[in-house]
Structure 1
Amino acid sequence: MASPDVAGLSPINAIALVGALGVGAQWLAWRLQLPGIVLMLLAGVIAGPVLGILDPARDIGPLVAPMVSVAVAIILFEGGLTLNFHQLSDAATGVKRLVFVGAPLGWLTSAMALHYGAGLGWQASAVFGGIMIVTGPTVIAPLLRQAKLGRRPAALLQWEAIVNDPIGALAAVLAFELVVVLNTTETVSHAAQVLALGVVVATILGALGGYGIARAFKQGWVPEYMKVPVLFVVLIAIFAASDTVLHESGLLAVTIMGVVIANAELPSYTELRRFKEHATVLLVSGVFILLAASLDFSTLGQLNWRAALFVASVILLARPATVLISLLGTDLPWRERVLIAFTGPRGVVLVAVAGLFGERLAALGVADGALVAPLAFVLVAVTVVLHGFTLTPFARALGLTGAAVPGVLLVGGSRFSLALAQALGKAEVPVLIADPNRARLRAARQAGVNTFYGDVLSEAAEHNLELAQYGRIIALSDNDAYNTLVTTDLGPEFGRDNIFQLARHKGDLARNALPSSLGGRAFVAGHNFDELEANMRAGHEMRCTRLSDEYGLEEWQADAPEALIVMAVDPKGNPRLPSGDKALPLTADWQVIWLDPKGTR
């Protein structure tokens, strides 16, 4: 509860503070390499119930509830956008089992843990149990990057989180709709009619909204610059229209709308989804801060030993039973099954949706509704902290960790890329060469270098190439436009600091040059493909030299004054690339990868 001695903020200042706390916590988490949800939780609780600086009910007033409702609707719509049936049909058997068997089974086991563990009634348990199907896609991704899991268990955990995200929300919405009609109608038959009407209307509105958007975008009825605004307006209109028929059915409608658009094969789907992901980051931050700041310590005080029993039963019983039963009969090794069974962090979506439904349940007179939000906070905090600190050693103990250091993905097969890959191999850095031309990979395959035949931006690469294992991407093909496309497209995912490309060829006409704002950072002191290939044909050799206290940078530079530094590997085995005016601190135990112009030395 906010302290009565603290003056309230104006609504504008309160909203600004919510944004600053949410985004600031996520940025700080990125800098400290910690789960963002933990810092957002701390920021909201400290600013809200601890210090009383922010009290959403006091500072923002009656707008808090509709703001949270619209934000959750947009979050669930973005979750629906991730459910592409074509991609799911191409997924491994294990993923399908975790979705088709694991989702309903997880709903049942979670509801049982809530009822018998936390002591909630069946109505609140059914709603909250549906939300608990979601394993936190926003939390899984950074955990997988941190743990460096092997390819198959990482793919299973990631796909389960992505696909079950909208399914869990959908299950919670359906359960909540049933609770609503049971508590607002006089007879069971009337309740069933109201529920059926609401579900049918929500399904029709969501399908029509998704189909209308897809057709309008495909037919060019909406210009590019208006696609995102039109999408948001239609989304909110569908949400409001469905809610008018049956309260909270709008969440079901927008989820279905997202699924329809995801499977419409829109040419602009990637751009729409990327913008939606950015918007979702802001909305998730805002919702999480609002919910954390609204947390009442007196409500937390209602939690007793049964809350600990509930969390323990979810981690040790409900989650393992769901996974192990779902994966029965598959050829998945037992170690991978155990790892997946005991890895189930919950994330922001669970807290956001649980907080909203908890308030709605309490308003309907469901006494246990007030406990849903605090239980969600406790579950998320425990699972995120637990898995954040134990996933890496647990996976290492099972022998399921991938590369010890982030690898380097070289896009484009050539003499230079092969020589660089071999030098990185000597430095014990994982490396892969990708090229859509099989002939260009022949020499690399013969040399024993890992290769990927295909376009790194293709759907095949999305399913078969585990990009999370690579921390740096270097575009080395002879096509400047393709290099620019790859680095521009993958830049948001890997970060601009980790994306590099060769210098572009200088054309005779300036109008033919690509914009400098596109592409990655300069690689190898601004050399282009032709220059490097000419050097390789002239007999230049790629070398890897380890510096030491006895043979440091000055001694090496004296021996190789004409050397061209390509990249370096720090003492921890991480690949580092020089960029701009920022020189690498080449000290003892650093390995320098360089191009020797004198050939044999």
Structure 2
Amino acid sequence: MAVEPYVVALTVLGVALLGVAVLPRIISEQPISLPIFYVVLGAVVFSLPVGLPTPDPLEYGSVAEKLAELGVIIALMSAGLKLDRAPTLGGWSSTWRLLAVTMPLSIAAAALLGWGVVGLAIPTAALLGAVIAPTDPVLASEIQVEPPGEGDEAEMAEGQPGKADEVRFALTSEAGLNDSLAFPFTYLAIALAAKGLAPENWVADWFAVDVAYRIVVGLVCGVVIGYLLATLVFRVTAETRLAQSVEGLEALAGTFIAYGATELVGGYGFLAVFVAALVLRGVERRHDYNETLHSVAEKGEQSLMTIMMVLFGGALVTGLLDPLTLVDVAVALAIVFLVRPLAGVVGLLGFDRDWRERAVIAFFGIRGIGSFYYLAYAMESATFPGEPRLWALVGCIVLISVAVHGVTATPAVDWVSDRIAARNRSSHAEEGPV
């Protein structure tokens, strides 16, 4: 009897989604993350002779771009909805440091490695730097902040900053913003590929449009749409059974509206989605409905992450890494183990936190779905020399990141949590009995 690939695909999808619901109960205390399971599942399934199409991102570039795009915007909504700490210069100091110092240093170092060591053309090397810029904590949920109103961040919002877990907050907020702020660097690589290396051909338009205009529009649209959505969500109560049955879908609706409307006027939709989520969360910070909104967004985020990781596992065993050389592997290891950690350490110099917290923040520069999106987007927008090799190199970086960060996330969080607990006990002991 012939096996229909569509039926096989549905079965695999069912198994993967069942894993989203069941596996967290089984491995919650284990030093391993869900994405590792899905990469292995994809590798096994696509190795079987069942007629599934090869998930080649070079052949199906547009599909890879749109699927990754959808995963990123839902993840941005989920991340914004769970951040209890209101955006301020002081309260988000770790975030600003990671964005203003660590991210540009990581981009420059990766681009230099791509050009000087791997031998990529300048536009392709610039694209390598851009696509490894966005971090992706969804691939290691153990280092995200807790759901709305829970965990140490809730205590931070209540005015107890000494108890806050800076590691979770910094990595979640960094990922929320650098998923959009990597876009100007991607456009820079596209300009180099399409218009040449002479700055007079592209620099003015790039700065005016891709940096200034798109960022400002993204911020404004995010704030406006976030307030409008909050007004609708928190002012209209679900009274009927039908209304109650669809509670929380406003999170997905708001994601698509913020992204679509902002992109229609030329702004960065990624930025608008995250800002809209922050505004929506901030308008009614203590409202119970925040948990409902986040729950729906998180389920969508986890489902799309599952699909992407299964396809990534399939790509790994069907030729994605074939163009890799030993030099490429060495560069991939350097980006994960040297570039991000060192750039993170530099960005956090002088930051008033224990060295253990700063070390964990610096180390966990997780690469994943955002890198896939930017790479697919750029290659759909311009032609880059050495595209297969660049896909192989980025795939290798993501694979190393998923494995290493997935295994070390739980021990690292426990290590820092123990330190925070000890610090709080010491603080209480010094204060003495009340």
TM-score, normalised by the number of residues in structure 1: 0.53
> Residues 47-106 of structure 1: CA distance to partner in whole angstroms, max 9, x if unpaired?
225656543769xx8866544433332222223334455276785xxx723x22223322
| Per-residue deviation, 1:300 | 0.7
Residue 229 of structure 1 aligns with which residue?
A: 249
> Residues 295-345 of structure 1: CA distance to partner in whole angstroms, max 9, x if unpaired?
57433111212333223323443233223323333454555555554x426
1:264 aligned partner, one-letter code: V
| Per-residue deviation, 1:169 | 0.5
Does the Cα contact within 8 Å between 2:258 and 2:269 map onto a contact in 1?
Answer: yes
> Residues 484-512 of structure 1: CA distance to partner in whole angstroms, max 9, x if unpaired?
xxxxxxxxxxxxxxxxxxxxxxxxxxxxx
2:276 is aligned with 1:260: no
Does the Cα contact within 8 Å between 1:18 and 1:290 map onto a contact in 2?
Answer: no
The alpha-carbon distance between structure 1 residues 310 and 204, as it changes in their structure 2 partners (threshold 3 A), is same
Specify which of 314, 318, 339 is matched with residue 339 of structure 2: 318
Does the Cα contact within 8 Å between 1:217 and 1:227 map onto a contact in 2?
Answer: no
The CA distance in 1 between the partners of 2:15 and 2:51, in whole Å, is 14
The CA distance in 2 between the partners of 1:393 and 1:253, in whole Å, is 34
The CA distance in 2 between the partners of 1:271 and 1:286, in whole Å, is 23
2:93 is aligned with 1:96: yes
SS in 2 for 1:301: coil
The CA distance in 1 between the partners of 2:357 and 2:249, in whole Å, is 44
| Per-residue deviation, 1:384 | 4.6
Identity of aligned residues (%): 17
The CA distance in 2 between the partners of 1:319 and 1:169, in whole Å, is 16
Unaligned runs of 5+ in 1: 1-5, 146-150, 408-429, 433-444, 454-601
Does the Cα contact within 8 Å between 2:357 and 2:416 map onto a contact in 1?
Answer: yes
Q: Where do residues 138-537 of structure 1 align in structure 2 (5 Å cutoff)?
A: 138-139=139-140, 141=142, 155-180=165-190, 187-188=201-202, 189-195=204-210, 196-220=212-236, 225=244, 226=246, 228-246=248-266, 249-265=268-284, 267=287, 268-295=289-316, 297-330=318-351, 332-334=353-355, 337-338=358-359, 341=362, 343-344=363-364, 346=366, 350-363=367-380, 364-367=382-385, 370-371=388-389, 373-386=391-404, 402=418
Q: Which has the higher contact order (CA 8 A, sep 6+)?
A: 2
Unaligned runs of 5+ in 2: 147-160
| Per-residue deviation, 1:28 | 4.3
The alpha-carbon distance between structure 1 residues 122 and 384, as it changes in their structure 2 partners (threshold 3 A), is closer
| Per-residue deviation, 1:16 | 5.0
Q: Which contiguous aligned blocks of 4+ residues in structure 1 show a shift greater than 6 angstroms?
A: 61-64, 87-90, 142-145, 151-154, 390-396
Does the Cα contact within 8 Å between 1:182 and 1:191 map onto a contact in 2?
Answer: no
Residue 101 of structure 2 aligns with which residue?
A: 105
The CA distance in 1 between the partners of 2:274 and 2:105, in whole Å, is 24
The CA distance in 2 between the partners of 1:20 and 1:330, in whole Å, is 44
More divergent stretch after superposition (112-121 vs 211-220): 112-121
TM-score, normalised by the number of residues in structure 2: 0.71
Residue 78 of structure 2 aligns with which residue?
A: 78
> Residues 244-271 of structure 1: CA distance to partner in whole angstroms, max 9, x if unpaired?
454x943333233223223322532222
Does the Cα contact within 8 Å between 1:299 and 1:374 map onto a contact in 2?
Answer: yes
SS in 2 for 1:300: coil
SS in 1 for 2:70: helix
2:341 aligned partner, one-letter code: P
Residue 21 of structure 1 aligns with which residue?
A: 16
The CA distance in 1 between the partners of 2:18 and 2:4, in whole Å, is 22
The CA distance in 2 between the partners of 1:318 and 1:332, in whole Å, is 21
Does the Cα contact within 8 Å between 1:202 and 1:252 map onto a contact in 2?
Answer: yes
> Residues 442-480 of structure 1: CA distance to partner in whole angstroms, max 9, x if unpaired?
xxx9xx9xx999xxxxxxxxxxxxxxxxxxxxxxxxxxx
Does the Cα contact within 8 Å between 1:137 and 1:158 map onto a contact in 2?
Answer: no
The CA distance in 2 between the partners of 1:172 and 1:211, in whole Å, is 25
Does the Cα contact within 8 Å between 2:230 and 2:283 map onto a contact in 1?
Answer: yes
2:133 is aligned with 1:130: yes
Does the Cα contact within 8 Å between 2:64 and 2:373 map onto a contact in 1?
Answer: no
2:12 aligned partner, one-letter code: L
2:385 aligned partner, one-letter code: A
Larger Rg: 1
The alpha-carbon distance between structure 1 residues 340 and 78, as it changes in their structure 2 partners (threshold 3 A), is closer
Residue 550 of structure 1 aligns with which residue?
A: none
Higher strand proportion, which one?
A: 1
Q: Where do residues 11-90 of structure 1 align in structure 2 (5 Å cutoff)?
A: 14-15=9-10, 17-24=12-19, 27-28=22-23, 31-32=26-27, 33=30, 34-48=32-46, 51=49, 54-55=52-53, 66-86=66-86
2:26 aligned partner, one-letter code: R
1:261 aligned partner, one-letter code: L
| Per-residue deviation, 1:355 | 1.5
The alpha-carbon distance between structure 1 residues 336 and 227, as it changes in their structure 2 partners (threshold 3 A), is closer
| Per-residue deviation, 1:368 | 5.1
The CA distance in 2 between the partners of 1:85 and 1:368, in whole Å, is 43
The CA distance in 1 between the partners of 2:302 and 2:263, in whole Å, is 25
> Residues 152-205 of structure 1: CA distance to partner in whole angstroms, max 9, x if unpaired?
999232222211111220222333344456666794244555435544444443
| Per-residue deviation, 1:129 | 3.2
SS in 1 for 2:165: helix
Does the Cα contact within 8 Å between 2:76 and 2:273 map onto a contact in 1?
Answer: yes
| Per-residue deviation, 1:42 | 0.9
1:328 aligned partner, one-letter code: L
| Per-residue deviation, 1:277 | 1.5
SS in 1 for 2:364: coil
2:271 aligned partner, one-letter code: L
Does the Cα contact within 8 Å between 1:111 and 1:122 map onto a contact in 2?
Answer: no
Higher helix proportion, which one?
A: 2
- RMSD over aligned CA atoms reads 4.5
| Per-residue deviation, 1:135 | 5.8
Does the Cα contact within 8 Å between 2:98 and 2:174 map onto a contact in 1?
Answer: no
The CA distance in 1 between the partners of 2:50 and 2:164, in whole Å, is 41
The alpha-carbon distance between structure 1 residues 233 and 183, as it changes in their structure 2 partners (threshold 3 A), is farther
Does the Cα contact within 8 Å between 2:140 and 2:409 map onto a contact in 1?
Answer: no
More divergent stretch after superposition (121-130 vs 363-372): 363-372
The CA distance in 2 between the partners of 1:192 and 1:335, in whole Å, is 38
The CA distance in 2 between the partners of 1:293 and 1:208, in whole Å, is 41
